[in-house]
A = this chain, B = another copy of it.
């Protein structure tokens, strides 16, 4: 789930998880998400940490608060789609530049991709 000892702060890891849940429709567009306490309990973290993750998420526009009612996923589905697209592009650019830094050429990278993913029946532990 999340890793206490990673270089990445826990609240950022939580942000990523919740972002993914929104993108994947686990928390549907415009709907209420579980309370801070609930989410914290579920994730096994301190409520303060979860609170911080949600605040940051609100700053980014993915969720918004109603005073006492709770927090809701944004109703603007374009924001969500855009976010998904950007994340995907980021991931690809990161991967490709990383491989190029290892002095792989474009044809080699395409080969690697085919070898490790396209033609692989099992490519990850999960």
Interchain residue pairs A-B with the least CB separation, the first 9:
A95-B95, A24-B103, A91-B98, A92-B116, A91-B95, A20-B101, A97-B124, A96-B117, A23-B102
Query: Which range holds the interface residue count of chain A?
Result: 35 or more
In the complex, whether A8 has a CB less than 8 A from a CB of chain B is: yes
Q: Are B66 and A93 in contact (CB under 8 A)?
A: no
Q: Are A23 and B103 in contact (CB under 8 A)?
A: yes
Please tell me how many copies of the chain the complex holds.
4
Q: For the complex formed, measure the closest distance between the CB of A11 and the CB atoms of chain B, giving whole angstroms.
A: 12
Q: For the complex formed, measure the closest distance between the CB of A53 and the CB atoms of chain B, giving whole angstroms.
A: 15
- Among residues of B, the one whose C-beta sits closest to the C-beta of A116 is B92
Q: Are B99 and A124 in contact (CB under 8 A)?
A: no
Complex partner residue of A102 from B24, B94, B112, B113, CB under 8 angstroms:
B24
